[in-house]
Each structure stands twice: as structure tokens, then as C-alpha cells.
Amino acid sequence: MYKVILADDHENSLFLLNYFVEKHSEFIIVDSCRDGQELVEKVKIHMPDVIITDINMPVKSGMEAARECLEFAADAKVIFVTGYEEFAVEAYTIEAVDYIVKPLSQARINEALKRAQQRIQLDGRKIEIQEKDKIIYLSCEEILFVEKSGKSCLFHTFDRTYTVSGTIRFFSEKLGDAFFLSHRSFLINSEKVSEIRQDKEIYLAKFGDYGHVAHISRLKFKEAQKKIREAHSN
């Protein structure tokens, strides 16, 4: 069962969030808050799996509170609910699970909770990486893309690149639905792609400020575009 904390300064919105989330037996609401500072304090107490928060709240905004919460509850999945669309880009920078523009609906909450559950389950999957004097267990959530390199693969993350033995086909089956074989030598995490641009005969996938790109073949472009669109719209 996944623990959830709700935060919204509007009583009606908080009531609806409670009502919609309680429809899911695998999620349990452990607390609710009316402002951003209270949210930070409650997250410290409960260490929830999921935070569902409004953005425009008194004392401290939901965006500011979420950033602070992730400093000590890094595995928590954040879902923003707001009456405004202009915060969507900022929400992406903290890797929010979803961004719901009010009015709230059961269908959108269902989608967001499903996405949060998938992220939590994905976090539980690790790739074992053997280095000289240690073994690293890399969370699938950290991986931006995988690149074929000889008989091994390079796992690109924002922090560094890891060399792992195995074929690109093997990892495409192991890593889960978020990953898409965009090219015979590249496996991309569709949830992490921030931009696609054409470069002569191929397309390049960018991942925020990360300095390397992944290739998307012309034959795979439409399928990749659909996969990425679905990942960002859920």
C-alpha cells in the first residue's frame, strides 16, 4: 500500500482529492495540508510515497515545498494540481509524475496515480553494475538512455555514464515499458526526452541539459514520437 499526502488550500479541492484517491485501495491518505510549510512538516513525519499538491498556496508555494521535500524524501513521487498551466515547465525540472490542470476529475487522478505507481515500481528495479572495487545498483528511473558500445552498453544518467555488459536487445526487455528501442544502437527512456530535432538522415533526442544525445532512426521516428507524447501526456 502506498502512502499519500494531499495539500490544497481550497476546501472543495481537498475534498475532491480525498474522494478520488480513496477510490484506489492500493493508496492510503495519511494526512492532508492547507499550505506549503505544513506540507513540508507532514512529509518529514510520514515520508509518503506520493505527494499530491496544489501550487498556489499560502506561506510557501507547492512548487517550493515539493523541492524542499525531495531533499529529504527523494523517492517521493510528486503530482501537481493547479488552476494554471504556466508552471508545467518548472514541474518538469523536478521530474513531477504528473501535472493536472483543474477542474479535477476522477479520470485524471486515476491516470496520475497509475503513473506514480509505475514510477515507484520502476524505482524498485535495479541494474547491477560491477566496477573494479564495488558493485553499483542503478535505479531504472535514473537512466536517460542506453547506447550500444561494442559488446557492452553505456548507461547515460545526469551524473555519469556507466559501462555494462550485455546487448541492447537484452536491456530493452529488462528495463520496462518506459524504454523504447529508437535505433539499433539506442534505447531511450521516453519519460526523460525533452526535445527531438532532425539532423540530416536521423533524429536526435535531447534530455534537458545533458550534454549527449540519443539517435532515433527515420523508420522509428513516428513510433518514438507517439511513445514520447504518451509519456508526457499521462
**DSSP-assigned states of every residue in 118-134:** HHHHHHT-EEEEE-SS-
Q: For cell 537512466, what's the residue? A: 143
Residues 12 and 109 reside in one and the same domain: yes
Q: What is the mean pLDDT of residues 111-117?
A: 89
3-state secondary structure 152-185: EEEEECCCCEEEEECCHHHHHHHCCCCEEEEECC
97 shares its domain with 151: no
Within this chain, do residues 112 and 133 fall inside the same structural domain, yes or no? no
Which of 123, 142, 158 corresponds to the end of one domain? 123
Residue 60 has pLDDT above 70, yes or no: yes
pLDDT tens, residue by residue, 150-159: 888 999 999 9
Same domain, yes or no: 76 and 168: no
CATH classification at residue 207: 2.40.50.1020
Cell 536491456, residue located: 171
Domain end among 74, 89, 123? 123
**Statement to judge: residues 54 and 114 lie in one domain:** yes
Q: Fill in the amino acid letter for 176.
A: G
Q: Name residue, grid cell 540519443.
A: 214
What backbone phi and psi angles, to 5 degrees, belong to 13? Answer: -65, -40
Out of 71, 99, 123, a domain closes at 123
Burial class of 96 by CB neighbour count within 10 A (0 to 12, 13 to 18, 19+): buried
- For residue 133, is pLDDT > 70? yes
Q: Specify the CATH number for the domain of residue 16.
A: 3.40.50.2300
Model pTM score: 0.59
Range of the domain at 157: 127-233
Same domain, 79 and 117: yes
- Cis preceding-peptide flag for 48 (omega within 30 of 0): no
Residue 234 has pLDDT above 70, yes or no: no
The residue written with cell numbers 515500481 in the block is: 121
Span 9-40, pLDDT tens digits: 999 999 999 999 999 999 999 999 999 999 99
C-alpha span between 16 and 174 (Å, rounded): 38
Q: How far apart are CA 141 and CA 176, in angstroms?
A: 11
